[in-house]
Amino acid sequence: MASFSPGRPLWLLALLYTACPATTPASQSAASLTADTSQTNNSTTDFTLSDVDGKSVHLSDYNGQVVLLDFWATWCIPCEAEIPHLEKMYLEHKQEGFVVLAIAMDGPETVANVAPFARRYNLTIPVLLDEETRVVAIYNPKRTAPLSVLIDRKGKIARVRQGFNAGDEQLVEADVKQALAAK
């Protein structure tokens, strides 16, 4: 990889910056990675995606429940670290009306890895395929991985978190518990 030099065209650096998916520096605190949804239009948009078994899943299937949309990819190391925590959280809280929809952002080159990934981790959470990035374009236009969007029982976005570092699962679970408590 070439290093930056004063003679290197700035447009090339700008192109490289905007063409790469957003990443989360490990030095950033989890608090700085959350979005304040109180000042924005935080209503959700319904969508339909196929799960790894070909079944159609609609966001509206989960009206009245707390939903965590988790945007991830098989090539994403922090995603791989996060997924087992989300599965555990789902199993602990599903009887309270909580669901995780794991939306794979894998494209044509890696989408074949999604089902084996789900089997390797014994996932019971719905694993959805967004090969055409329709849902990603709505909820995660920067294609950040992982990105979690927490939706409350009223269908409003309650919290958005990007990235994953060890210990973040406790923050996510606290958000989920708060959303579940708000009936």
Q: How confident is the model at residue 75 (pLDDT cuts 50, 70, 90)?
A: very high
Taking only Cα atoms into account, the Rg of the chain, rounded to an integer number of angstroms, comes to 17
The pLDDT, as a whole number, for residue 177 is 95
SS3 content of the chain, % helix, strand, coil (to 5): 35, 20, 40
Residue 103, beta-bridge partner list: 71, 128
Residue 98, beta-bridge partner list: 66
What does the alpha-carbon distance between residue 56 and residue 122 come to, in Å, rounded to a whole number? 20
Q: How confident is the model at residue 14 (pLDDT cuts 50, 70, 90)?
A: very low
The pLDDT, as a whole number, for residue 168 is 92
Indicate the angle between helix axes 168-181 and 77-93, nearest 10 degrees.
30
Is the predicted pLDDT of residue 25 greater than 60, yes or no?
A: no
Which tens digit of pLDDT belongs to each residue from 95-127? 999 999 999 999 999 999 999 999 999 999 999
**Mean pLDDT across the stretch 70-82?**
96
Report helix, strand or coil for 164.
Answer: coil
The pLDDT, as a whole number, for residue 23 is 35
Which tens digit of pLDDT belongs to each residue from 29-68? 333 244 434 334 588 999 999 999 999 999 999 999 999 9
**Proportion of the chain above pLDDT 70, given as a percent:** 78
Is the predicted pLDDT of residue 7 greater than 70, yes or no?
A: no
Mean pLDDT of the chain: 82
Give the pTM. 0.78
